[in-house]
Structure 1
Amino acid sequence: MTLTYKTDDLLPSAEDCAQCRALLQNALQKLPGVKTARVGEKEVQLEAATDPQTAFPEMVEAIQATHTHSTLKVDGMDCASCAKTVEGAVCRVPGVSGYKLNYMAERVEVAYDPTQASLEDFKTKIEPLGYKVTPLVRPGGIRAPGKPAHDDHSGHDHGAKPVTSPSSKPIKDASLEHSHAEEHSQGVAWFNTRQGRPVVITGVLLALAWLFGRFEPQYAEWGYIAATLIGGWQFAIKAWRGALVGNPFSINTLMSLAAVGAILIGEAAEAAVVVLLFAVGELLEGVAAGRARAGIRALAALAPKTAFLVHEQDHRDRKGEHTHEVPVEQLEVGQIVLIQPGGRVPADGTIIAGSSALDDSPVTGESVPVNKTVGDCVYAGSINTDGVLRVRVDKSAEDNTIARIIQLVEEAQEAKAPTERFIDRFSRYYTPMVMLIALLVIVVPPFLFGGAWHEWIYKGLALLLIGCPCALLISVPAAVTSGISAGARRGLLIKGGAALESIGTVGTIAFDKTGTLTEGRPKVTDVIPLEVSESELLAKAAAVEQGSSHPLAKAILNKAAEAQVQIPPSSEQKAVQGKAAVATIDGREHAVGSPRYAAELAPLEATVQQQIETLEAQGKTVTVVLNVPKPLGLIAIRDEARPDAKAALAELKALGIQNVMLTGDNTRTGRAIAGQLGLEVKAELMPQDKLRIIEEMKQGGKVAMVGDGINDAPALAQADVGIAMGGGTDVALETADAALLRNSVRGVVDLIVLSRATLSIIRANIAIALGLKAVFLVTTLLGITNLWMAILADTGATVLVTANALRLLGFKR
């Protein structure tokens, strides 16, 4: 039999680690009774004689005995230079096979051999560099999945409870842990923060040195030297530790050399000012990082900490109803929670009793409360405005919408934009090159042209400060992080800097029709019997479609329920991809399919064909109910265009973007909907046809695809940028590069505008960073500017590019 599991349920790290998947496949293959094992990123399929799940915990422990993953919270890692230093330390721990580093989240995920290294080894390597390390374990630890999917090839999540191994102690997710770098955005006074204290100390020392010089001028120089050495000592230590882990050309190195050099040539006062301004720059970088992280913490704070759990027996008998308050982490899938007016929804779920208007704006960005009733889905963090609701919990706390948003945003911060990757590569050569040029400026003029040593040493030291790449390194990630955070707060999830950059450069956007440009809730408009009564036609169609989740099938089933027809039993249901649903009723094969499918089985009469054409011309989708191959009747269904679709498409056109609709529906229906919306249409497409068309369109420039269904997933992956609508399937959301939590086409416009705004700020930031350096380079070589002004070329630029990037946090279209 075929057994299907979620990969992450078997080994939590396998979804992100190819080496883990290889080890998992090898271990599964060795289990008794397992014939074949196929381990993918999302799903594991086994061909086995019996269910081997009892052996899973031992198998996973055996894997983790030689290859395990841990997440480290590195407090104080809040800039690119810090990241390089930590990276060097991690690489020097024996047994490390891989790592992912995200300095915006102050997090490092490491894969290593526990027989060669331990978490204590990472602390030993990193903490001497001036950072605080807190090991964190992924929530859930080792999991034993519940009953697998049915004995077929379909995969389902049966809501198994996670079983934590004795060696794993799940604690809070790293994104929720306190950090000193986050103090800036948590109400802590700036002078009490880790970066603020050096500013105060250096500033006080500089002021004391100045006052001392007023009374004892002959000793003033010593006061400035003391201020420089005491204030700059921490930066010199960082430079030395960075050199020990393979990062000798750090920003701290440049600053330390310049400060010491200034003291040696008798410019101690300027050296002290340089140290102070550099400390201010460090403080501002911490402020920027804290502001960016504040958006993630704000998302995490949306979900309430507790929920009112309804006892199972009380749910059956409400006369003695009693609820008790529990932490949301204890909620299990299938339990019932009570939500009072004004309360926040504690978990993703489905309303089973009551109706109310829910304010989804904290999660989706939807500004108007949405009326919801029994059967509708609700999001954790939404606000219940007026009615009492009973909600069945569908997802656990670590898997709800907010948790997924946080995970996607943090993963997006790890994924660097192309421009950022280029600047990182450039900086590897840039800093050593600056040091070499500074050395040449110091040595060449005095040796070859008889220049004054003091003058050219001074200019060389100023060049070191001008060459600090702080502003350049932060110019892109600050803008990208701000853009991603701004999008997340408005229901626009963007999976990384590469996606954020690409979205704004697309020239063509291909839209799926059903559920994307239309409401996705088609309704039966016409029931036209040919050989049977209307009620029998509906009954047979509903019997064929029983169990299907296809929008057209739901429309037929809803119509049958409204008409209260008696649905006959059916068996052997199957789907003919993109054409029909087939089942056996009373020993005869019946089908509900497209007119094209019906015509393939037997020619349709001219009168029937005319009826079909008339209905399709009205923008309706026509299905033919068949007692194969004989037509029993026609059912016409229409899915109305979204109210905002036409205006959104017009805005995209005004932005210079070409729009096209790709649909598997018939040509006439496709044209009718496209005509209402004013865009081009390509109809009667199978999933492989959409792939081919997107590939053809890519020859003329970048293409984005917007869709929501499983059949859209290949096209979303094929496009330069895949965008999933909020009501879409998990497959579409996982495949896409961006997701719209709100079911609105205007979200696509928001994505384009946000991306273009981010690209504009990136270009401006790079121009500011390089432009200021060029100006100060010329003025320094001409003798116009001095050392403390030279440091402004970097600190000042850092302030400007950071402030410019943070403007995106207030993004409004």
Structure 2
Amino acid sequence: MAVEDQAGERREWTVSGMDCGSCAIKVRGAVERLPGVSQVNIATMTERLSLTLDPIQTPPEKVEAAVKSLGYGIAPRGTVKERKPFVLPSGAAGAPQAGSSDIEANPFDERVRDLPEDREDDPAEREQPWWRRSKGQLVIVTGLLLAGAWGFELLTSAEVGRWAFILATLIGLAPVARRAFAAARMGQPFTIEMLMTIAAAGALVIDAAEEAALVVFLFAVGEVLEGVAANRARASIRALSDLVPKTALLEVNGTTRQVAAASLQVGQVVLVRPGDRIPADGEILEGTSGVDESPVTGESVPNTKGPGEPVFAGSINAEATLRLRVTRAAEDNTIARIIRLVEEAESARAPTERFIDRFSRVYMPAVVGVALLVVLVPPLAFGQDWGTWIYRGLALLLIGCPCALVISVPASIASALSSGARRGLLMKGGAVIEATAKISRVAYDKTGTLTVGRPQVTDVVPLSADAPELLAVAAAVEAGSSHPLAEAISARAEAEGVQPLPSSGGKALPGKGVEALVAGERAWVGSPRFAAAEMGVLDSEGIRRATALEEEGKTVVVVFRPRHALGLLALRDEPRADAREGIRQLKDLGVTSVMLTGDNARTAAAIAGSLGMEHRAELMPDDKVAEVRAMAEAGGVMMVGDGINDAPALATASVGVAMGSGTDVALETADAALLRNRVTDVAAQIRLARAAMGNIRQNVAIALGLKGVFLVTTVLGFTGLWIAILADTGATVLVTLNALRLLAFNPEREA
């Protein structure tokens, strides 16, 4: 069912030919004016138009006609289905049921593109070299016309040559003028096409036909270069969809047959041979093999995986044959979700980008006004030559176009998002990148974030019961819990051959422990502070022994009944191998690290001390939120966590980052995710964000600097029309190519 809104249903289209920010502004302006249209989002790099539409007021065909009139291709992606929140897979948990294929199709799947043949959005044409595309052919035609006009001038006379240049200008200008007037009819008179049309027509009026023809040719060249540069950025995103193989070996009744990978359904079994790419997110049923997940997570070392373990679509089976049960449909697999994240993140615009958009709306009319003054004031006020100042005013129109400035931010953001996605660093938009670049403090959860999240019971200390009874009660209380400490206790009981007692009514006591009805009587597994201070069941000897264990850096829980403590269990969760290195890298970046944990102060101090970081211990979930808020007063703060109790702190921080193996709640709440579960990736994410913001500053400097120089030289008469258009298109291409450098940026490498 479509997503209903007050104004109608949410719809999406693929719009091709949008190679710069000005293109997006024109498309937005055209559709926003239509009745029944609201909440318009446009992503230039991923060529996506989404909006809320009341089809009774404006049918979808009218939206498509408005976009086509501007010279862009458009094809519907259909009605947007009800979506699940963007979360990364944590094993097979939460996998959709069979038939639940409500997520939108792969945005780059050619099956959803039913596009007109005369547009550049035809998938077949998209793969063609530039000279076979419509814009490329316009360059060739205008170039031949220009060369032919020069030939006529050389072989005949200047007068014949002048008419040849006029003809070349009119032929080359016709499609540009058509787009210009279409935009003007939709309330957008100040577009680059309109400025081009006025400049070229004005040049013909003042008898500068040769320059007019040259300007039209250079404008066509510039559009092709912009398209080539933009397509390079898009290709890096499309490459993600190519990671998933097109076919799969489906097993049915003991036999296998080749089917389309996109047709796989949840619950089906597929066979993956050594060297093959895994066709779907799934769970291993049979076989043990090294799985190379670098195409998905960027992790270069293959992971050995066996029965019961999850695997990602696009990963490479390196060693042995595997039988998998599909846990996610094609449109919901990891690759599709990463692509969707990058696509949707482009709509979450950075504050800098929003400012530049507002600035450009004022800037364009201002440039036209200044050009008009340049044309009128010198001849009227000082008796200067009209032809000279009309010429300079026309050049000023071309110089003033803000294409390079408008594309400077989204091009950098799109490249940074794509570069990060290839390395397992996911960020949900430009606003997150900008906030990450300003981070001065990072707060970490302990269990599962700084530590591996697989604690083991190291000590069993009976007090009023023997060890088997102690483990039997503890395992019964923790039965059904997925908390790492609970799993460790259950594993120790199983290893000792102890059967948990019958239990029911288990419930978590946030920040305190777990309670259940065990063998007809209440029992708890809780912190020493809870057992001693609140329940009064832990005596001084028990407190002394718990303290001694905590000083060894262990987590201690008390197993107790209503009137007495049965005993103590000590657990230890080792820090991740790269935790200390990750904290050091942050320190080198000038970022302070703090560990926030609900664990006891002594254990927290031991772990934080070994990692070289600050710590806050014995925190309830709301205490973590308060700590994050306090840190935020001194500057940007990032919170990194993976548990349900981390979600409030993740939402409170300037930037919330979820570890990739974390719970769905944490991943949904977070602004970013680390697929590889590396602590060092936090520093890498900050480096990438800072590099992106540096790239944006460079792009803005290039765009404004070039325009500033040529504005002055044009008014002074040093540069003419063809230099003006060359400066404009050149600046756009330069900032796009500069943004593409981020695709090769390695955030893991320290400066």
TM-score (norm 2): 0.93
In structure 1, stretches of 5+ residues that fail to align are 1-10, 21-65, 144-154, 165-169, 315-320
Pick closer, same or farther for the CA change 1:564–1:340 going to 2, 3 Å: farther
Kept in 1: contact 2:8–2:54 (CA 8 A): yes
> In the alignment, does 2:275 pair up with 1:353?
no
Cα distance change of structure 1 residues 731 and 418 upon mapping to structure 2, 3 Å threshold: same
Matches within 5 A, 1:564-583: 564-583=497-516
| Cα pair distance change 1:12/1:689, threshold 3 Å | farther
The aligned counterpart of 2:202 is: 261
Whether 1:561 and 2:497 are equivalent positions in the alignment is no
Measure the CA separation in 2 of the matches of 1:172 and 1:142: 11
Q: TM-score, normalised by structure 1?
A: 0.87
1:341 equivalent to 2:274? Answer yes
Match of 1:480 among 413, 416, 419: 413
Query: Retained in 1: the 8 A contact 2:3–2:82?
Result: no
Q: Could you say which residue in structure 1 is the equivalent of 2:99?
A: 161
Q: Does 1:127 align with 2:68?
A: yes
Give 1:594 deviation, angstroms. Answer: 0.9
1:633 corresponds to: 567
1: CA distance between counterparts of 2:444 and 2:552?
21
Number of residue pairs aligned between Structure 1 and Structure 2: 730
Deviation at 1:776, TM superposition (A): 1.0
1:541-591, Cα deviation, whole Å (9 max, x unpaired): 111111101111011111122222122211111111121111111211111
Structure-1 residue corresponding to 2:741: 807
Aligned to 1:196: 136
The change in CA–CA distance for 1:163 and 1:446 in structure 2 (over 3 A counts) is closer
- Kindly report which structure 2 residues correspond to 1:523-672, keeping only aligned pairs within 5 A, or say none: 523-599=456-532, 600-672=534-606
> 3-state DSSP class of the match of 2:108?
helix
Distance 1:171 1:728, change over 3 A: closer
Q: 1:273 aligns with which of 214, 221, 227?
A: 214
**Counterpart check, 1:80 vs 2:25:** no
Which whole-Å CA distance do the structure 2 matches of 1:585 and 1:222 have between them?
99
SS at match of 1:73: strand
Counterparts in 2 of 1:749 and 1:536: CA distance versus 1, 3 Å: same
Q: Give, as a single letter, the amino acid of the residue that structure 2 aligns with 1:590.
A: A
- Give the Cα separation in 2 of the matches to 1:184 and 1:673: 58
2:251 equivalent to 1:310: yes
Over 3 Å counting, the alpha-carbon distance change for 1:356 and 1:791 in structure 2 is: same
Amino acid at match of 1:797: A
User: CA-to-partner distance for each residue in 1:214-267, whole Å, 9 max, x for gaps?
Assistant: 111231111111121111211111111111111110111111111111111111
Name 1:492's counterpart in structure 2.
425
Alignment partners' CA distance in 1, 2:285 and 2:610? 37
Query: C-alpha displacement at 1:138, in angstroms?
Result: 5.0
Where does residue 205 of structure 1 map in the other structure? 145
Cα distance between partner residues in 2 of 1:579 and 1:323? 52
Cα distance per residue 1:264-287 (max 9 Å; x no partner): 111111111211221122112212
Cα distance, 1:430–1:97 mapped onto 2, change above 3 Å: closer
Distance of 1:285 and 1:705 partners within structure 2 = 39
Asked if 2 retains the 8 angstrom alpha-carbon contact of 1:687 and 1:715, the reply is yes
* Offset at residue 354 of structure 1 (A): 1.8
Equivalent-residue separation in structure 1 for 2:259 and 2:124 (angstroms):
32
Which structure would you say has the larger RCO, counting Cα contacts within 8 Å and 6 or more residues apart?
A: 2
Q: 1:307 to 1:138 in 2, by over 3 A?
A: farther
Q: Do structure 1's residue 748 and structure 2's residue 748 form an aligned pair?
A: no
Distance 1:68 1:632 in 2: 60
SS in structure 1 of the partner of residue 556 of structure 2: strand
Which residue of structure 2 aligns with residue 13 of structure 1?
3
Aligned with 1:403 (options 321, 325, 336): 336
Amino acid of the structure 2 residue aligned with 1:500 = I
**Aligned in 2, Cα 1:186/1:109: closer, same or farther, shift over 3 Å?**
closer
Distance in 2 (alpha carbons) for counterparts of 1:304 and 1:138:
27
Output the amino acid matched with 1:111.
Answer: T
Does the 8 A contact of 1:694 with 1:703 survive in 2?
yes
Q: How far is the alpha carbon of 1:476 from its aligned partner?
A: 1.1
The residue that corresponds to 1:759 in the other structure is: 693
RMSD between superposed Cα atoms in Å: 2.2
Opposite residue 468 of structure 2, the aligned amino acid is: S
Moved more, 505-514 or 787-796: 787-796
User: Comparing 469-478 with 778-787, which one deviates more in the overlay?
Assistant: 778-787
| Residues 514 and 12 of structure 1: CA distance in aligned 2, closer, same or farther (over 3 Å) | farther
Structure 1 residues 120-157: Cα deviation after superposition (integer angstroms, max 9, x where no partner):
222233222222221222576799xxxxxxxxxxx977
Aligned-residue offset at 1:172: 4.6
Give the structure 2 partner of residue 692 of structure 1: 626
CA distances 1:82-121 after superposition (whole Å, capped 9, x unpaired):
2222223322333224332222222222222233332222
Paired with 2:339 and 2:486, the residues of 1 have a C-alpha distance of 35
- Contact between 1:181 and 1:194, CA under 8 Å: does it hold in 2? no
**Match status 1:323 vs 2:256:** yes
The letter of the residue matching 2:465 is V
**1:79-158 alignment runs, 5 A limit:** 79-138=20-79
Output one character per residue of 1:151-182: Cα deviation in whole Å (capped at 9) or x when no partner.
Answer: xxxx9777263488xxxxx9954332368369
Rounded to whole Å, the distance in 1 between the matches of 2:257 and 2:495 is 38
Amino acid at match of 1:592: V
Letter in 2 for 1:106: E
Structure 2 residue aligned with 1:511: 444
> Do structure 1's residue 728 and structure 2's residue 662 form an aligned pair?
yes
**Which residue number in structure 2 is paired with residue 35 of structure 1?**
none
Contact 1:356 1:388 in 2 (8 A): yes
Alignment CA distance shift 1:323-1:410 (3 Å): same
Could you say if the C-alpha distance between residues 184 and 221 of structure 1 is closer, same or farther in structure 2, counting changes exceeding 3 Å? farther
Check 1:408–1:635 CA distance in 2 against 1; reply closer, same or farther (3 A cut): same
Q: How far apart in 2 are the matches of 1:197 and 1:473?
A: 26
Indicate if the aligned counterparts of 1:85 and 1:247 stay in contact, CA closer than 8 A: yes
SS at match of 1:195: helix
- SS of 1:734 mapped into structure 2: helix
CA contact (8 A) 1:529 1:634 kept: yes
- 1:334 partner SS: coil
Instruction: Tell me the CA shift for residue 676 of structure 1.
Output: 1.0
1:214 aligns with 2:154: yes
**Amino acid of the residue matched to residue 649 of structure 1?**
I
Which segment drifts farther, 98-107 or 463-472?
98-107
Looking at structure 2, the residues matched to 457 and 356 of structure 1 have their Cα atoms a distance apart, in angstroms, of 74
State the match for 2:642 in structure 1: 708
Structure 1 CA distance for aligned equivalents of residues 244 and 464 of structure 2 = 56
SS in 2 for 1:74: strand
1:241 aligns with 2:182: yes
Give the CA deviation at 1:714: 1.1
Distance 1:711 1:397 in 2: 31
- What amino acid maps onto 1:206 in structure 2? L
- In structure 1, distance between residues paired with 2:474 and 2:267: 32
Residue 183 of structure 1 deviates from its aligned partner by 7.2
Deviation of 1:478 (Å): 0.9
* Aligned residues of 1:379 and 1:401 also touching (Cα < 8 A): yes
- In structure 1, how many angstroms separate the alpha carbons of the residues matched to 2:222 and 2:62? 32
Aligned to 1:387: 320
Amino acid at match of 2:657: I
SS of match in other structure, 1:69: strand
Deviations 1:276-315 (A, max 9, x none): 221122112212221121122111111122322333xx5x
Deviates more, 1:505-514 or 1:604-613: 604-613
Distance 2:314 2:96 in 1: 24
Q: Is the 8 A contact 1:184 1:193 kept in 2?
A: no
